[in-house]
Structure 1
Amino acid sequence: MKASLAALAAVAVPLVAAHYTFPDFIVGSTISPDWQYIRETANHYSNGPVTSVTDPEFRCYELDLANTAGQTSTATVSAGSTIGFQANGPIYHPGYLSVYLSKATPEANSVQAGTAQTWFKVYEQKPVYENGALVFPSTTQQSFTFTLPKSLPSGQYLARVEQIALHVASTYGGAQFYIGCAQINVENGGSGTPGPLVSIPGVYTGYEPGILINIYNLPKNFTGYVAPGPAVWQG
């Protein structure tokens, strides 16, 4: 089946140039310096992706699993406010974009934060199925923002951006994950109950139809992209 023009254009970009990281956190209209609030990732030079959904690095891909969290500042935000992420270049690869939050125990800058079944999804950008092909909104962006639910309880969280690049995802392990975790302190929160809660790693097997997919040769009975992981918590 015919691929979208955006997807074909992404493949035409040289592989190294098309890789990216998410070093900048956005609060309102303010973009932070690189790695101020986002844990510096192991690919901060190479821009290379994570491909294993079972490794501990799949959580936040920290440069140093023992020390990076404590070396990263925590941003103060309000429930109901606008936050987001900025990549270090265009998000070239066609894929699925989402953000997970995890209540941080004991604090957002602790190694233990996010290591339990505490993650829930708060945002997603799904590919759109149009005229027999998938169209990928994220390939036109370098940054994005969204609104935190007003009912999000106050407290410290990890905010994890994840873009699943699908240009070579037709075989197991081919999907590329571009990940970053911001450390945030939420004020003026509500009394919502976020969920469903999942573990990261553990949320995916790698065989989900939204991860193991040939976007250039879709099945004849294809009716639309199925996002992997839990439903978005709306608050």
Structure 2
Amino acid sequence: MKTLTTLLALVSAVQAHYTFPAFVADGAATGKWQYVRKTTNFQSNGPVTDVSSSQIRCYQLAAGSEGAQTMSVAAGSTVGFTADASVSHPGTLQFYMAKVPAGQTAADWDGDGAVWFKIFSQGPNIAAGGLTWPSQGAKQVTAKIPQCLAPGDYLLRVEHIALHSASAPGGAQFYISCAQLTVTGSGTKTFSGVSFPGAYSATDPGIMLNIYYPVPTSYTAPGPAVVTC
């Protein structure tokens, strides 16, 4: 009976977690891991909890792109990821991009350095009765590529920070994937960025907090501000 109880608990834990396995462009999902680098949690669904780990960047199963292809998308288009099975925890949804350096491609670059800029950030709706999170329960999460972005190869990073157990350092759960893109268009703008790891501290106020009691009256997402054109 104890073994069965333990097994059921493990199954429940896995079901409560999630991955972002498929790229979404113009509302249509591609195949799983077709344009998204396969993540370490592709079977376990478990999160990253150490913000100082290299896994906080793209949560990759192995070095390299794991055979992922590169999708061509236009600047200004809406892109995203499927959530498998859904975003089951409350928390912050953010998207980052990083421009691939000259001489490299989205398929072979590791995303190292202060290169990641934020294109989307979604926190909670705050009320006296508690916080509600627009991304919770979502089957897909999306963001818009800046219209002014210069053409080239990029990595697109989705990050959902689950905050249901975040009242102590290491309690926040990060669910992450990176897709490989070639951005087209007539944009001319490039952006400076932050590095992963390096951008976050375990005690950042948007990472370590009790979201239930006392009910927060404000929320500041970790990382830089969203870039603007």
Task: Give TM-score, length-normalised by structure 2.
Answer: 0.90
Q: 123-132 or 197-206: which moved more?
A: 123-132
Counterpart of 2:48, as a letter, is: V
Partner of 1:225: 219
Within the candidate set 23, 35, 39, 2:21 is matched to 23
Matched residue, 1:4: none
Runs of 4+ aligned residues of structure 1 deviating over 4 Å after TM superposition are none
Q: Does 1:60 align with 2:58?
A: yes
2:136 corresponds to 1:174: no
- Give 1:218 shift: 2.8
How much does 1:233 deviate?
Answer: 0.8
Q: 1:133 to 1:229 in 2, by over 3 A?
A: same
**Correspondence list, 1:135-214, <5 A:** 135-195=132-192, 197-214=193-210
The one of 40, 47, 50 equivalent to 2:48 is: 50
Distance 1:29 1:223 in 2: 34
2:146 alignment partner AA: P
Q: 2:105 aligns with which of 95, 107, 121?
A: 107
1:95 touches 1:164 (CA, 8 Å); kept in 2?
Answer: yes
The unaligned stretches of length 5 or more in structure 1 are 1-12
SS of residue paired to 1:193 = coil
Counterpart residue identity of residue 39, structure 1: R
CA deviation string 1:150-206 (max 9, x = no partner): 1011000000000000011011001000000000000114112324x1001111011
2:70 to 66, 74, 79: 74
Give the conservation status (yes or no) of the 8 Å contact 1:114–1:158.
yes
- How many residues matched? 217
5+ residue gaps, structure 2: 1-10
Contact residue 70 and residue 106 of structure 2 kept, 8 A: yes
- Contact 1:78–1:189, Cα closer than 8 Å, also in 2: no
> What SS does structure 2 have at the residue aligned with 1:71?
coil
* Paired residue type of 1:230: P
Amino acid at match of 2:183: V
Instruction: Indicate yes or no: 2:84 matched with 1:91.
Output: no
Contact 1:103/1:113, CA 8 A, preserved across alignment: no
Q: Is the 8 A contact 2:157 2:177 kept in 1?
A: yes
Please tell me the root mean square deviation across aligned C-alpha atoms, in Å: 1.5
Q: Which amino acid aligns with 1:146?
A: A
Q: Taking every aligned residue pair, what percent have the same amino acid on both sides?
A: 46
Listed one character per residue, the Cα deviations across residues 32-64 of structure 1 (whole Å, up to 9, x for unaligned) are: 100000000011000000001111111111111
Are residue 118 (structure 1) and residue 129 (structure 2) matched? Answer: no
Kindly indicate whether the alpha-carbon contact (under 8 Å) linking 1:128 and 1:224 is maintained by their aligned counterparts in 2. Answer: no
Checking the alignment, whether the CA contact within 8 Å between 1:128 and 1:136 is kept in structure 2 is yes
CA separation in 2, counterparts of 1:34 and 1:229?
Answer: 28
1:76 maps to a residue whose letter is: S
What TM-score results when the alignment is normalised by the length of structure 1? Answer: 0.88
Q: CA deviation at 1:225?
A: 1.0
